[in-house]
Amino acid sequence: MGASGHAANDHASAHEHPHAHENHPGLLLLICGPSGVGKTTIVHELIRRFGGLFSVSATTRQRSPQERDGVDYFFLDEPTFQKWIDEDRFLEHAQVFGRSWYGTPEAPVRAELAKGHMVVLDIDVQGADNVRKRIPDSLAVFILPPDEPELLKRLRARGREDEAAIQRRFAESKLEIARATHGNTFDAFVVNDTLPRATDEVSAIVAGRLADRT
């Protein structure tokens, strides 16, 4: 996941921030949810509507044939990922499901926020937790599937992995949903039943937050 989008946007530039020394006037939007739930699809539509940047994460996991380095992710080997950690280049980083490492490069996020643009992160629940600690006025939305069979169907529809990997992600998805619904990281939960409805609901939440900030 995590394709990039880029467009200018004039939202939220005059916001009075409670942590003014941190100087991030744009809205940082965290979109979380299980693999296959529709995050990438929703985020593309949000960027189309509001402008802003879809943050490209770094990862040590293997690139699938459909993915492009530098567009969907920065695909790094472990020594390079460790070097980025040592150089303090990540806003947050985490090992997701004890497998691969993922991290959000900080510089592009800060640069876009400083310009008053929206920045969207597609990260896991622990990543969202860590970002909220550093940037408390970020907006965190968790996307839920309408039901489990539909999630499994969408994981298969992505056509990115073999059946064993799909089943593993499906099992992990249930854990991620439990983690999200039992914690207090999220401002809102949105069911992605139909794409237009779910996108409208997330858009309304974003618009509400942008309106509060002016």
Q: Which residue is nearest to ligand ADP (CB)?
A: 38
CB of 20 to ligand 5GP, least distance (A): 27
Stretch that binds ligand ADP, among 36-44, 77-85, 178-186, 206-214 (CB under 6 A): 36-44
State which amino acid sits at residue 38. Answer: G
Distance between CA 41 and CA 22 in Å, rounded?
31
Q: Which C-beta is closer to ligand ADP: that of 17 or that of 158?
A: 158
Residue 187 Cα to chain centre, angstroms = 14
Alpha helices per DSSP H over the chain:
39-50, 78-86, 106-114, 125-134, 148-157, 163-182, 195-213
Q: Does 192 bind ligand ADP (CB under 6 A)?
A: yes
CB of 143 to ligand 5GP, least distance (A): 10
List the one residue from 171, 195, 204, 211 that touches ligand ADP (CB under 6 A): 195
Residue 5 Cα to chain centre, angstroms = 13
CB of 120 to ligand ADP, least distance (A): 12
Closest alpha carbon to 119 in 43, 190, 192, 45: 43
Q: Which residue is nearest to ligand 5GP (CB)?
A: 127
Spell out a b/e string for 91-110, using b for 16 or more CB atoms within 10 Å of the CB, else e: bbbbebeeeebbbbbbeebb
Choose the contact partner of 158 out of ligand 5GP, ligand ADP, none; CB within 5 to 8 A by kind: ligand ADP
Q: Which C-beta is closer to ligand ADP: that of 35 or that of 130?
A: 35
Please check whether residue 165 is in contact with residue 62, taking contact to mean a CB–CB distance below 8 angstroms.
no
Count of residues in contact with ligand ADP, rule CB under 6 A:
16
Choose the contact partner of 194 out of ligand 5GP, ligand ADP, none; CB within 5 to 8 A by kind: ligand ADP
> Contacts with ligand ADP in 132-161 (CB under 6 A)?
154, 157-158
Closest alpha carbon to 178 in 153, 149, 144: 144
CB of 92 to ligand 5GP, least distance (A): 6
CB of 161 to ligand ADP, least distance (A): 11
**Whole-Å CA distances, 189 to 70, 122, 173:** 30, 15, 15
**Whole-Å CA distances, 151 to 111, 122, 172:** 35, 17, 12
Choose the contact partner of 96 out of ligand 5GP, ligand ADP, none; CB within 5 to 8 A by kind: ligand 5GP
